[in-house]
A and B are shown apart, each in its own frame.
Chain A
């Protein structure tokens, strides 16, 4: 829209507007990132209702803490980090993460062909990940998509690194089985 182009021509202008607590800038930021952040939340939450709550809480945190974005690194990366933390907090409250620690039975590494992903669409893949058992869904998301290390995952989830590895392995086999079915 012309009005948006005039006032917030760039992402930097939107961020500056958000720092000034301008509602239009906040709305612009929301419109830019809400779809991708909702996808992120759905991957962690497993259901849309809980994901919507995470989206709400995540954006409130973003708007309240936007001054703390220093400009180093991508803004989207910063936002993703906040949304992952928000999601983890929400899952912790719902006692979902306890199940992550319970699955401590390691199994062998799975080798997955990247070409396997050509068979499904992004939407199907997202739904598949969201439907993963809670026990290893979080670890898979954090490691495979967000790029956390096992050490970071272990710290965030208060589990051992070996647990993180074994849950990732389980997640991979679970996913491979569903994709190749």
Chain B
């Protein structure tokens, strides 16, 4: 009897639905958007932190010496019999000896090509030049230098040369042509916003259907934004490069509004032109492959927005866009050299678009975006 009562009670309660207020969904949607934003921020922070950690480790470990090596290996033959040299030194006055050194390290200039460099280092021979030089004139022999006051050791000379090479020699400018997509939106259209009271009658129980009144549903879909650009990069040194350029972005969205009178469709096309300024940091260089991190800021100006409406009130209008769109971004990149001067590259980037009263677009709906820049670079 009790079970029957409970079963009946359960049936009545499970089939009954109390309609929530319209604002109830708005609260949930806004909490979800907030948590989504927080998640993105966390992920982007983690990415940036990881990239920063990699760069920091790279420098702490003396990465530029390890990876972009400027290695000087002077060909010095150490005197076999030091005693003999010392004894002979009394007869030989101190003199200047020119030592030819050859470095076969990778000279990673802006072209990424390897070259062999010959250096001439002049050192003072304070003690003696081995008398054995007379015995074997073909191979000039010096004793490993003992530094004295006011003189420089070979290590010091090497270090200075290395520093000079690192700081003093710039690579050549790089011209890049790029195209950029947001892969997050490329697989299928994003349904970012659904406004008003949705009315999914087909998915409801019969009891719910009676309680739901017909209302509007609007659905906005954003297509992946497309950006093409031309960039010029000027190497500051072997590791850092500064870049700028000009780019054009096309943003497209479709809004469909279903109401009791039919469907209204609005196509919005936005055109932006922008100027990026970025810093590129090379992490790893080989003649064929370069890995780097980059970070920068972009200022974009909306040129025009076109609204093309079909449905109950068809229209087609073009309006000016006021204000600027600022964004910051950073990421890692890889470049593969397909020729002596040309490299193909792919840069996954995280970009944050600041809110700045721009027309609704994918950047205002989702300010933090993952983007993939691909293109080729030409080195002069």
Contact = CB atoms under 8 A, between A and B. Distances in A.
Contact of A147 (B10, B17, B211): B10
Contacts of B5: 112-114, 116-117
Contacts of A56: 24, 27-28, 31
Contacts of B20: 34-35, 38, 52, 55
A2 interface: yes
A109 B6 CA distance: 14
B198 A31 contact: yes
Interface string B253-273: 000101000010000000000
Contacts of B15: 122
A23 B193 contact: yes
Interface residues of B, number: 46
A9 B51 CA distance: 43
A32 B203 contact: yes
Interface in B1-37: 1-2, 4-10, 12-21, 24-25, 27-29, 31-32, 35-36
Given A23-B193, A27-B194, A114-B4, A1 B258 contact: yes
A92 B6 CA distance: 26
Interface stretch (A59-67, A83-91, A96-104): A59-67
A144 B192 CA distance: 41
Interface string A72-95: 000000000000000000000000
Contacts of B2: 109, 111-112
B43 to A, nearest CB: 13
A23 B20 CA distance: 19
A22 B9 contact: no
A35 B19 contact: yes
A39 B13 contact: yes
A35 B258 contact: no
Main SS class of interface, B: helix
A144 B13 CA distance: 10
A162 interface: no
A7 B217 CA distance: 14
Nearest to B9: A144
Contacts of B219: 3, 24
Interface string A1-37: 1111101100100100000011111111011101110
B191 A35 contact: no
A125 B24 contact: no
A60 B204 CA distance: 21
A145 B7 CA distance: 8
A64 B107 CA distance: 52
A17 to B, nearest CB: 8
A144 B2 CA distance: 9
Nearest to A110: B2
B151 interface: no
B200 A32 contact: yes
B199 A31 contact: yes
B172 to A, nearest CB: 46
A23 B191 contact: yes
Contacts of A11: 203
Interface string B209-238: 001000001010000000000000000000
B65 interface: no
Given A122-B15, A125-B12, A144-B9, A26 B200 contact: no
B31 A60 contact: yes
Give the 9 A-B residue pairs with the shortest CB-CB distance, closest first.
A35-B17, A122-B16, A24-B191, A112-B5, A114-B4, A114-B8, A122-B12, A39-B18, A36-B17
9 contacts: A1-B199, A23-B32, A28-B198, A32-B200, A39-B17, A55-B24, A60-B28, A126-B13, A147-B10
Interface of A: 1-5, 7-8, 11, 14, 21-28, 30-32, 34-36, 38-40, 42-43, 52, 55-56, 59-60, 63-64, 109, 111-114, 116-117, 122-123, 125-126, 129, 143-145, 147
Interface of B: 1-2, 4-10, 12-21, 24-25, 27-29, 31-32, 35-36, 191-194, 198-204, 208, 211, 217, 219, 256, 258, 263
